[in-house]
Copies of this chain bind each other. A is one copy, B any other.
Amino acid sequence: MHKVRVRVVEDALDANNTIARANREDFDRSDVTVVNLMSAPGAGKTALLERVLADTGDVRVAVLEGDVEGSLDAQRLASLHVPVVQINTSGGFGGECHLDANMVRSALPSLPLGDIDLLIVENVGNLVCPAEFRVGEDVRAMVCSVAEGEDKPLKYPLMFRACELAVVNKIDLLPHVDVELEQLLYNLQVVHPGMEHLLTSARTGDGVEALRDWLVSRVKDRVAA
C-alpha cells in the first residue's frame, strides 16, 4: 500500500507544480510579486500584516487569505482597505492543511492583479505541508513565535529550508518564556545555513519596519531584474 500512496502523492505534487507554473505566468504578465507566508497556528502572521499593510508607500498590496474555515483574518485585514480574497480549504476535501496551486488559481479571477504590485498569500497555519506545495510564488517567508520554543527548526526542517526569510515574532515575550533566542537562531542556521531572519513583535511594533522594507524590496528587486 505504501508504494501506491507515495505514487499518488508524487502525482499530486507534479500536478500542483504544473498549476503553480500557470499561476506564475499570470503573475508575471501583471508584474505582480508574490510572497507565500507560512507559520504554525497563532504565530502572528495576520497581526504582523495588520502592522505592515498600514503603510506600504507606493507599493500596492493585496492579500490572499488561506484558512480551513471562516474569514476572521480576512475581516481583520479588509479593515485596512487592502483587497483581500478568502480561500477556505474545508470544502470538498475534508479540511486541507495547506493551500495548493489550484486553490490559488481558483482565486485569481477575484484578485485585482492589474492594480497591485505585491500579493501576499497567507497560508494555513501549519509547519509541515504548506512547504511542500508551491502556489506560483516568487519567495517564501515564515513566521515563528519565540513562544513555540527554540527547537522548531530542528523538528520542522523542511519548512525552515523552504523559506528565504524567518520572521522571529513575539520577541516581547522573551523575558517571560524559557527560550534562548541565540539557540533558536543557531538552530535556524543549522537547518538552513545563511537563512535570513528578522526579529519582530507585532504587539510592540519592533521590527515591523524591517519586515515592510523586506517585502517592498521583493517588488523593487523584481522590477530591477
A97 touches B95 (CB 8 A): no
Q: Output the nearest chain B residue to A157 by Cβ-Cβ distance.
A: B69
CB distance from A207 to the nearest CB of B (A): 17
Chain B residues whose CB sits within 8 angstroms of the CB of A1 once the complex forms: 15
CA distance A199 to B170 in the complex (A): 22
Q: Output the nearest chain B residue to A2 by Cβ-Cβ distance.
A: B92
Q: Report 9 cross-chain contacts, Cβ distance below 8 Å, ordered by A residue.
A: A2-B92, A2-B93, A6-B94, A40-B41, A72-B154, A129-B129, A172-B176, A173-B173, A178-B203
With beta carbons under 8 angstroms apart, the residue of B42, B96, B155, B158 that contacts A147 is B42
Chain B residues whose CB sits within 8 angstroms of the CB of A117 once the complex forms: none
Chain B residues whose CB sits within 8 angstroms of the CB of A126 once the complex forms: 97, 126-128
Q: How many copies are assembled?
A: 2
Chain B residues whose CB sits within 8 angstroms of the CB of A92 once the complex forms: 2, 6
Report if A155-B67 is in contact (Cβ < 8 Å); known contacts: A97-B128, A177-B173: yes
Tell me how many residues of A have a C-beta within 8 Å of chain B.
48
Chain B residues whose CB sits within 8 angstroms of the CB of A147 once the complex forms: 42, 145, 147, 170, 173
Chain B residues whose CB sits within 8 angstroms of the CB of A178 once the complex forms: 203
Q: Does A8 reach chain B (CB closer than 8 Å)?
A: yes
Q: Does A209 reach chain B (CB closer than 8 Å)?
A: no
Q: Output the nearest chain B residue to A72 by Cβ-Cβ distance.
A: B151
With beta carbons under 8 angstroms apart, the residue of B67, B124, B132, B176 that contacts A173 is B176
| Chain A 118-148 interface residues, beta-carbon cutoff 8 Å to B | 124-129, 132, 145, 147-148
With beta carbons under 8 angstroms apart, the residue of B8, B70, B155 that contacts A70 is B155
CA distance A124 to B9 in the complex (A): 19
Q: Does A214 reach chain B (CB closer than 8 Å)?
A: no
B68 touches A128 (CB 8 A): yes
What 1/0 mask marks residues of chain A from 92 to 123 whose CB sits below 8 Å from any chain B CB? 11111100000000000000000000000000
Q: Output the nearest chain B residue to A13 by Cβ-Cβ distance.
A: B94
